Amino acid sequence: MTAAGAAILGCAGPRLDQSERAFFRDADPWGFILFARNVEDPAQVVALTAELRETVGRAAPILIDQEGGRVQRLGPPHWRAWPPPLDLAASADPVRAFWLRYRLIAAELTDLGIDVDCAPLADIAGPNTHPFLRNRCYGTDAAAVILRARAAADGLAAGGVLPVLKHIPGHGRAVADSHADLPIVEADPEPLRATDFAPFRALADLPMAMTAHVVYRGLGSEAPATTDPAMIALIRDELGFDGLLMSDDIAMGALVGDMAARSAAAIAAGCDVVLHCNGDRAEMAQVIAAAGTLGGAGERRAAAALAARAAPDELDIAALEAELSDLCGG
């Protein structure tokens, strides 16, 4: 059996056509990611996740961004509408509220064949955090974020869904939206290590993480962490993260060059897999060619992440919903 491609890819729509099936069969990406364009109703999503796995002939991980607030690919009328995560900070017991929220999200995802959620966020919301990120954060200080992010990760895991820690090593100080521009953080190393990086150090045992497309100039970097070997080394050695490290979406505006150059740079820096989300066939072909296949430490980390997938525990959905409603004041 050949190693899978070191990439996670999106698909174009709610169903695969014949040419797309053939492309994925040949490309053999490690996993797939779904967006709102891929979602119509539960039966359709179940069929799509099964078909994606059939193209590669294995139980490939299928990811989604289901944070709540502005970043939720599943919503009414078939799935719950979740308020922004930062709103939970005002609940009577935020740690318990985060666990409940993500345990319920996990139940929604596993029903669809989705087994990875791109959460929790361990970024710290500050006064100048860009609005694209701020209310997606879990709190405004490291101690609170650590407890809430751990609870969210535990809730997902209890429901049979792998968590993805993001955006390592910390996006909260960024005042630009990395979807459109390259954020540059000028803070000195000491406050970064004491605050921004602290939640990621505390959560370094999680199975997967997503990089930040952020330049940490105070650490002497001139490139986004995703493509900077020194920053990937910091993530591995100083923060202690030895799980599967995936790039944030390689097509975002923070990066430069074509998809091949971006993908090659991320892999050369030390990312294990490249994430490409928009489903553009020509771009995906570049990503697959440049990223290569999983091998060595990357293959070990990918296998360890998948081995962490577990069957959901038992839950009483109505009871958990009622408890969460009570904690959030109805």
Q: Are 103 and 315 in contact (CB under 8 A)?
A: yes
Which residue stretches of the chain are H helix? 18-27, 42-56, 94-110, 142-158, 189-191, 198-202, 229-233, 259-269, 281-291, 296-307, 317-327
Q: Are 192 and 216 in contact (CB under 8 A)?
A: yes
Catalytic residues: 179, 248
Distance, CA of 330 to CA of 319 (rounded, Å)? 14
| Cβ 85 vs Cβ 125: under 8 Å | no
Strands 66-68, 71-72: pairing kind: antiparallel
How far apart (Å, rounded) are the C-alpha atoms in residues 268 and 265? 5
Position 273: which residue type? V
Q: Which tokens is 146 given?
A: 């650590």
